[in-house]
Structure 1
Amino acid sequence: MRTDLFRRQVVKGFACVSAGAFLPPCCLPAIAAGRDFVLKDIGDGIYAFSGLNELMTEANQGAICNLGVIVGKEAVAVIDSGGSLIEAEAFIAAIRKVTDRPIKYLISTHMHPDHIFGNAAFRDIGATIVGHHNLPRALEARGAFYLQSYRNQIGEDIMKGIEIVPPTVVVTDPMTLDLGGRSIELRAWKPAHTDNDLTVFDTATRTFFTGDLVFRGHLPTLDGSFLGWIDQMGTLSDVKAARAIPGHGPVPSDWPDALVPELRYFQALAMDLRDAIAKGTPLSEAVKTAGLSEKDNWSLFDDYHERNATTAYAELEWE
């Protein structure tokens, strides 16, 4: 898929993008494996972009996570900005094709680059950036590392203009935002995928934007608390949603069925690691075998599983 021809086609598709410029429909860049940036109409003012279940690369321009749009009578809220300014500008252009209402809020679901590297594009059009109360601290701690390390991963051209832009409004307690005749509910979660996970619930359609608290197809990645994530699965499943937009995977997804594969993976990993710890198996050996029964059920398993197992082992051995 990532042939030289494909790379040339993608680069050609982006040739009309300039920093800070909005693109006319005829010039909308080919993004995410050669597709135009297309917002899927979920219905009733809800739209979503489906990212690829891949690592961020030069070829996919960082477009690997799902992004969301909620249109109210007076304003628009956007959920996550994508993995590059190129993607964010294509996103804004796509939003302008479905509504001319002002983009009032950009809601960042957590700190990872595929979700926040496009924040500057939304800041520059006047959107208020909203995030978990831990998000500013997390971005301050990791921002410089993200900017440097991803230059090596996705290349200087894709990284041009990317800034680490923290939220100016933070969520500690449940918060409601009004888009004009449409209310959306924001919730800050305890450490799980990260320590700064935020979800968005559209009350009109009962659509649940979960961020990376929910993965489908793409192996869940652990950068917060393994036990915290498991402990909150019940609370997640209790959200009275009709459908979910996961951070990665099919959009929309049935709810709460979308949680089932993720919980199965966590349970398999926990069971195997607890058994290894009880037997005195050292971490270096346990992480190579724990949870392998799940290998065929997930993309990117080899990229993330041992890291997940290492983090989980460190928590479980202190139970």
Structure 2
Amino acid sequence: MKRLKVLRSFVFVFISFIALGHNAFAQEDLTKIADNVYAYVDTKKSLPQNSFGANAGIIIGRDGIVVVDTLVSAKEAKRLIGDIRKVSGLPIKYVVNTHYHLDHTFGNAEFEKLGAVIISHVNDDQNMRKNGEPTLKDVKEFGLSEDDMQGTVLAYPSLTFNDRMGIDIGNQKIELIYTWNSHTNGSIVVYVPDKKILFAGDILFTNYHPFIAEGDINSWLKALDQIMNFDVDKIIPGHGPV
């Protein structure tokens, strides 16, 4: 058992190394990962006002765009939308929340205004409905001010799933996969199989210590084992450089 735990610890470090890829230096703004796939990373801006350095994903298909996570506020979401518009004018069809925490979901409403369908795991839909408003009222506890959160309102998922879900945006298929009670009890990853790209959400951090207070370490290790079985060339962490 001890040997297994050591091996899994090695797996965690190994995956973090893969996530660093060929760019070990901090990056900002939209980074092209593959044709029509981008990572929105803020590794130089890890303050609360900049979504605690949370990453976001942009996947563009023939029929529209899928956004993975929406950052911490209306201001941050509008910044993300502005950068999306620099690379594509297609409609934003879907938002996928990898988990319910504020730095990944509190920008949802800005995308909902554009007609996007918000998707999450059923557990984190429930978590957000339970904890979202109290968190928004107590943002000072997270180092955020009323000015930082100006215009921010909550928008909840309108589409949920349990184990797996597929999205087709024309010539691009995307898989949403539940990772058990890892970072949260509703955490998911977003897999783009033909591009061999995985958006890992907060089950993976690079250059950050992961937040593990809500998760179960055994389930988290199981999720990392699962990642090792995916055919991937690049992993986008929830926080940290690509």
TM class by shorter-chain length?
0.7 to 0.9
Partner of 1:89: 78
Give the distance between the partners of 2:133 and 2:219, measured in 1 at CA: 27
User: Paired residue for 1:41, among 8, 25, 32?
Assistant: 32
TM-score, L = length of structure 1: 0.64
Letter in 2 for 1:116: T
Give the distance between the partners of 1:53 and 1:38, measured in 2 at CA: 10
For the 8 Å contact 1:135–1:167, the answer to whether it is kept is: no
Deviation at 1:102, TM superposition (A): 0.7
Deviation at 1:63, TM superposition (A): 5.2
Give the distance between the partners of 1:90 and 1:108, measured in 2 at CA: 18
Partner of 1:120: 109
2:57 matched to 1:68?
yes
Partner of 2:208: 218
CA shift in 2, pair 1:158/1:172, >3 Å:
same
Give the distance between the partners of 2:156 and 2:217, measured in 1 at CA: 25
Q: Which runs of 5+ in 2 are unaligned?
A: 1-26
For the 8 Å contact 2:125–2:157, the answer to whether it is kept is: yes
In proportion to residue count, which structure has more helix? 1
Partner of 2:174: 184
CA shift in 2, pair 1:245/1:88, >3 Å:
same
Give the distance between the partners of 1:210 and 1:197, measured in 2 at CA: 9
What do the CA deviations read for 1:75-100 (whole angstroms, capped 9, x no partner)?
11000001111110011111111011
The alignment partner of 1:92 has SS state of helix
Partner of 2:16: none
For the 8 Å contact 1:131–1:171, the answer to whether it is kept is: yes
Partner of 2:219: 228
For the 8 Å contact 1:176–1:183, the answer to whether it is kept is: yes
CA shift in 2, pair 1:53/1:172, >3 Å:
farther
What do the CA deviations read for 1:202-233 (whole angstroms, capped 9, x no partner)?
12211100100111111011122122112332
Partner of 1:106: 95
Give the distance between the partners of 2:187 and 2:196, measured in 1 at CA: 19
For the 8 Å contact 1:139–1:164, the answer to whether it is kept is: no
Partner of 2:240: 249
For the 8 Å contact 2:51–2:76, the answer to whether it is kept is: yes
For the 8 Å contact 2:42–2:53, the answer to whether it is kept is: yes
Q: Percent identity?
A: 32
Deviation at 1:173, TM superposition (A): 2.8
CA shift in 2, pair 1:61/1:249, >3 Å:
closer
The alignment partner of 1:39 has SS state of strand
Ranked by relative contact order (alpha carbons within 8 Å, sequence separation 6 or more), the top structure is: 2
Partner of 1:276: none
Give the distance between the partners of 1:130 and 1:83, measured in 2 at CA: 17
CA shift in 2, pair 1:187/1:53, >3 Å:
farther
For the 8 Å contact 1:53–1:217, the answer to whether it is kept is: no
Letter in 2 for 1:46: V
Give the distance between the partners of 1:206 and 1:122, measured in 2 at CA: 26
For the 8 Å contact 1:37–1:91, the answer to whether it is kept is: no
Partner of 2:149: 159
Q: Which runs of 5+ in 1 are unaligned?
A: 1-35, 252-319
Give the distance between the partners of 2:189 and 2:44, measured in 1 at CA: 21
Deviation at 1:161, TM superposition (A): 2.0
Give the distance between the partners of 1:41 and 1:236, measured in 2 at CA: 22
Q: Which has the larger Rg?
A: 1
Partner of 2:163: 173
Deviation at 1:56, TM superposition (A): 4.2
Give the distance between the partners of 1:37 and 1:219, measured in 2 at CA: 20
Alignment length (residue pairs): 214
Letter in 1 for 2:62: K
Letter in 2 for 1:183: K
For the 8 Å contact 2:30–2:39, the answer to whether it is kept is: yes
Give the distance between the partners of 2:65 and 2:120, measured in 1 at CA: 16
Give the distance between the partners of 2:191 and 2:100, measured in 1 at CA: 19
In proportion to residue count, which structure has more strand? 2
For the 8 Å contact 2:176–2:191, the answer to whether it is kept is: yes
CA shift in 2, pair 1:55/1:71, >3 Å:
closer
TM-score, L = length of structure 2: 0.83
